[in-house]
Structure formats: C-alpha cells, structure tokens
C-alpha cells in the first residue's frame, strides 16, 4: 500500500487551520486541481460528511470523485476516503484515503501532518512507485494551497 506523508508548520492557529481543512466547500481554495465541490452532505463534527470533488484534468475537463469523512476529531484530525464503487477509479484502486493531523507548534502556529494511502488493484500495483510520486506532488500542492489560503 503506497503511503506518502508530508509535514509543514503553518503560521496560523490550529482552529483557523481546522476550519479550512474540515470544510469540504473550502477544498477548491487549497486542494490541487479541485475546481468545485458539489453535493455536500455535511454532518456536525464532520464524521460521515460526504461530498463530490470536481477535479480538472490537464485538458480542462471535469472528473467527478466522491468522498466521505471517516474520522474527525475537532482541531486534531480529519480523515476522508474516496468512494470508489462504480467509479472510473475502481479499476485501479481498492481504496484511497487522506489523513490530516493538526498539532499546536508554538504561539499561533500549526504543525500539519498530511498522509495519503492507496491500495492498488490488479496490474495497477506495478505502478505504485508512480502513484507515490503523484501523491507526494498532490500533498505538497495541498500544503502550499493551505499556506496561501491562510496567508
């Protein structure tokens, strides 16, 4: 299972970072290639919330991907997984999950640990090294996006 973890300290207090990472509507502000978010069913405390990301391809087309929050602890952790069943992603992935941890890191700073794990399906497992690089780029882009959104 390819797992990639990236870390960064942001100059923003934990509650401010939490507000951004736990709101699916905010994803276009900081998550790479998300042009918009649709069909949000947001629950209190985040857990079991569901949403659809519309991801923009290099050719400008939109690709829909459904997600749900599987774990949430206010100001500490937010975890979502992609709903793969009956999606175009299902032929390559068994599961795909993103975990975001927040830690106070001094006055007005947040240490963020962002991890992505994916289990590949069938012959796609041979390309797991490429998936790790792709996920590393996405997580770096997400951390850059958070930094910009919080500036």
Query: Residue ranges per domain, the chain?
Result: 3-150
Mean pLDDT of the chain: 86
55 pLDDT band (50/70/90 cuts)?
confident
Three-state SS at 21:
helix
Half-sphere exposure of 62 (CA within 13 A, CB side): 10
Percentage of residues of the chain with pLDDT beyond 70:
84
Quick: pLDDT tens for 87-134: 666 667 778 899 999 999 989 999 999 999 887 765 444 455 456 677
Distance CA 81, CA 66 (A): 9
Residue 56, token pair as written in the block: 């923009």
Distance CA 98, CA 117 (A): 7
**Residue among 102, 103, 115 at smallest CA distance from 22:** 102
Distance CA 45, CA 111 (A): 21
- pTM (two decimals): 0.85
Contact in structure between 11 and 150 (CB atoms under 8 Å): yes
Distance CA 5, CA 46 (A): 22
* Assigned architecture for domain 3-150: 2-Layer Sandwich (3.30)
24 pLDDT band (50/70/90 cuts)?
very high
């Amino acid at each position: 299972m390819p797992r990639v973890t990236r870390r960064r300290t942001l100059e923003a207090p934990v509650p401010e970072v939490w507000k951004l990472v736990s709101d699916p509507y905010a994803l276009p502000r900081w998550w790479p290639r998300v042009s918009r978010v649709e069909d949000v069913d947001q629950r209190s405390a985040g857990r079991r919330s569901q949403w659809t990301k519309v991801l923009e391809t290099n050719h400008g087309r939109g690709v829909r991907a459904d997600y749900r929050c599987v774990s949430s602890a206010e100001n500490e952790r937010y975890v979502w997984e992609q709903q793969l069943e009956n999606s175009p992603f299902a032929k390559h992935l068994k599961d795909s999950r993103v975990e975001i941890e927040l830690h106070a890191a001094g006055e007005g700073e947040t240490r963020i640990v962002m991890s992505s794990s994916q289990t590949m399906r069938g012959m796609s497992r041979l390309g797991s090294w490429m998936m790790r690089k792709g996920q590393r780029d996405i997580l770096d882009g997400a951390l850059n996006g958070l930094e910009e959104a919080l500036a």
